[in-house]
Structure 1
Amino acid sequence: MIRSRDESWVRIEDASAIGAARRAATSLAEACGFDEHDRGRVAVAVSEAASNLVKHAVEGSMLIRTHPEADDAVEVIALDKGPGIRDLTRAVRDGYSTAGTLGIGLGGITRMASAHEVYSLPGRGTVVSMSFTAAGTAPPASRMSGVTRPIGEEIVSGDAYAYVEDGDTATGLLCDGLGHGPAAATASRRAVEVFQDLSDLPVLQLLERLHRALAGTRGGAVAVARLDRAGGVVRYAGLGNVSGWIVHAEGRQGMISVPGIAGHQRSRLREYEYAVPPHSMLVLHSDGLTERWDVAAFPGLAARSPAVVAATLLRDAGTRRDDATVLAMKAAT
């Protein structure tokens, strides 16, 4: 069972933020059991990534957290709205740099990280995903991931997500607590707790139980998606304004949620079944993201890892007027 964890967002706006990012990452690595050598790898990679953001990026930030799919691994995602990287092959060569790219240190990052991925669009910005494990430990799988960011200067997000995998079946939950702040977070946490206990229920029954469980809270918008990778279908049920999409290279298909607020008011709950093509991605997001994002504006994104998909959409479609959360689930390849 994976749920949204405590996540540390660091704004990388000046050189003073480099040390803050490095300390947060190495402290987390120590908590995950990394020895001194492995903590050093994390420190170097995070410092170089943060330095790149300071020197070349616009609106740079870094997400530092325990890896969503492994309690003993560290995940770091650096994102920005900078100039992007026009020639990624050249950029990963040690020592390569131009004033218009994030070239400095990118080669070092690829060596230090246990796994990495770079998605960059010229003129739009770059997302760098890094995961770190102790020496000799394989990087975690990457079939599902989510990111959440609180509104403005809030410490806690009123959104939450959770997911569970059982062979070729994956079930995901996204809850957007009504409003924001601690009361919204209480509602979302309650939804996650119920999901953890009842995630094997049929989708429609699970949504009904979530609705009942949120009655003593502020309530929120809730959606549940069960992906059958072998069968190529998803069963989806939503209450409120969580957005659900089937995303592929040619476009996206929306999934239907019924109006209402989980825990308070509802229409007749409905479950829908959709075909899911190979090489596609399920994306659920709260209304902290605009629905107007266009798959065509992100060449190749549907083929990227769930972490990169979620972070890219959060960066480009996320508004600062609300908590924002994205959950991405990879279909069969």
Structure 2
Amino acid sequence: MEEVSTCLPMTEDVAWLRVDEAAEVGRVRRAATGLAERLAFPGSRVAEIGLAVTEIGTNLLKHAVEGQVLLRSVRGEHRAAVEVLAIDRGPGIVDIGLAMSDGQSTTGTLGLGLGAVARAADRFALSSTRDRGTVLTARFRSHRREADLDDGTTAGLTRPLGSEEVCGDAYAVRRAPGRLTLMMCDGSGHGPLAASASREAVRTFCALPGGGPPEEAVARVHEALRGTRGGALAVADLDLVARRVRFSGVGNIGASVIADGRKRGMVSVPGVAGYQARTIKAFDYDLPPGALVVLHSDGLTERWQPDDDLAEQPPLVAAARLLRDAGVRRDDAGVLVAVAR
């Protein structure tokens, strides 16, 4: 019997916005409220998002170093959400509990108004490390009584190179009972043609019948990428019952299992999906409960090592920390994280 699986919800990274001048706080607010309006949020919810994002942007301006806001849309079949990510390299928050109290401020990043932001959001997370910076994530559904769009076990991020408007990296997640299947594609080069290749990889992957092995998915996507720029490609199939991950990759997609504070790399074979992939293999790895599975493009260095608490973070926070700490500036960057609950 064919496995029932879905790629929904789909997440789009709409805009990365730096916050290093006062005028940029207003720019972030307008972009966030404009996104909520395009997703048909009611006016009262749009206003709440505007206030929350203004608070986030103001505190980045006051306290952050290299502060940025990422605005994202999360779309299901009939519902959508706005997701806001704030990331910086500031001094960090010494006492998060105190910072969450109303009326409190801190010499670290994002100290004022955190409690109000958390109350306005439907999903909120915060991670701060002294002298390394802070990551804040907040998801806003259109109506507070709606069920969430996913269970929070996976999250990905993409960031385009420099002034490029589109990122050549893309990812997708298929969900089925007891199983997660992750796909990451790094389109060759950067810009619109690289993005076109990675979008085709996502489209093909999500259209595949469920239940097939990852090496078969890689082979099918490889064929679909002929006529595009091609790229690096990897698929990881997480069996949450048998506690195994089967991985197949072509090219330089970094892939790891993080468990017990240790990072175990997974093996890709040489090649370029869409051009040359003479050998497509799959390898099996243990998947302990609570382990993280990480896929990333070469926009992140493979030399990163997990912090002691990385596996304890929500996947979106973990992805943001990896992008901040391991991301290099000379290429598009994409990272996808799943927790094996």
Fold-level similarity (TM above 0.5): yes
Q: Partners of 1:229 and 1:104 in 2: how far apart?
A: 40
Q: Secondary structure at the match of 1:261?
A: coil
How much has 1:111 moved relative to structure 2? 1.4
Q: Partners of 1:27 and 1:130 in 2: how far apart?
A: 17
Matched, 1:223 2:231: no
How much has 1:197 moved relative to structure 2? 1.2
Aligned residues of 1:174 and 1:327 also touching (Cα < 8 A): yes
How much has 1:25 moved relative to structure 2? 1.2
How much has 1:293 moved relative to structure 2? 1.0
Q: Secondary structure at the match of 1:67?
A: strand
5 Å-filtered alignment, 1:46-65, equals 46-65=53-72
Partner of 2:245: 234
Partner of 2:139: 131
User: Which one of 275, 278, 287 corresponds to residue 276 of structure 1?
Assistant: 287
User: Which one of 130, 143, 152 corresponds to residue 122 of structure 1?
Assistant: 130
Q: Partners of 1:24 and 1:168 in 2: how far apart?
A: 37
Aligned residues of 2:60 and 2:109 also touching (Cα < 8 A): no
Q: Normalized against structure 2, the TM-score is what?
A: 0.93
User: Which one of 61, 74, 84 corresponds to residue 82 of structure 2?
Assistant: 74
Aligned residues of 2:13 and 2:158 also touching (Cα < 8 A): no
Partner of 1:330: 339
Amino acid at match of 2:167: S
Partner of 2:165: 155
Q: Secondary structure at the match of 1:175?
A: strand
Amino acid at match of 2:337: A
Gaps of 5+ in 2: 1-6
Q: Secondary structure at the match of 2:12?
A: coil
Amino acid at match of 1:8: A
Q: Partners of 1:185 and 1:237 in 2: how far apart?
A: 22
What is the percent sequence identity of the aligned residues?
A: 46
Matched, 1:91 2:99: yes
Partner of 2:218: 207
Mean CA deviation greater in 322-331 or 298-307: 298-307
Matched, 1:286 2:297: yes
Aligned residues of 1:258 and 1:270 also touching (Cα < 8 A): yes
Q: Partners of 1:206 and 1:7 in 2: how far apart?
A: 27
Q: Secondary structure at the match of 1:46?
A: helix
Aligned residues of 1:199 and 1:206 also touching (Cα < 8 A): no
Partner of 1:38: 45
Q: Normalized against structure 1, the TM-score is what?
A: 0.95
Matched, 1:248 2:226: no
User: Aligned residue pairs: how many?
Assistant: 330
How much has 1:155 moved relative to structure 2? 0.3
Partner of 1:166: 176
How much has 1:43 moved relative to structure 2? 1.0
Mean CA deviation greater in 55-64 or 242-251: 242-251
Aligned residues of 1:4 and 1:160 also touching (Cα < 8 A): no
How much has 1:154 moved relative to structure 2? 0.3
How much has 1:280 moved relative to structure 2? 1.1
Runs of 4+ in structure 1 displaced over 4 angstroms?
Answer: 68-71
Matched, 1:146 2:153: no
Aligned residues of 1:162 and 1:192 also touching (Cα < 8 A): yes
Q: Partners of 1:312 and 1:301 in 2: how far apart?
A: 8
Partner of 1:111: 119
How much has 1:99 moved relative to structure 2? 2.7
Superposed CA deviations along residues 29-55 of structure 1, whole A, max 9, x for unmatched, are 223332122112211111101111000
Q: Partners of 2:92 and 2:75 in 1: how far apart?
A: 27
How much has 1:116 moved relative to structure 2? 0.3
